[in-house]
Structure 1
Amino acid sequence: MTNSRSPSPNQIRFAVEPRLVPAQKAARRLHLTEAEFREKLDALLRVGFPAACSITGHYDLKAIDEWLDARAGIGEHEGKPKRNVMDGLKERLALIGNPSPKVGPK
Structure 2
Amino acid sequence: RDGSDVFRGRGPRFIKGMLTKANCAQDILSIVESNMAELSASNVSTAFRRLAEQTYFSHGVEDLADADEGFQGLLQRARSYACDKKYIARDVASMLHSLAKL
- After TM superposition, the score normalised by the length of structure 1 is 0.23
Q: Which structure: larger Rg?
A: 1
- After TM superposition, the score normalised by the length of structure 2 is 0.23
Write 1 or 2 for the structure with the bigger share of helix.
2
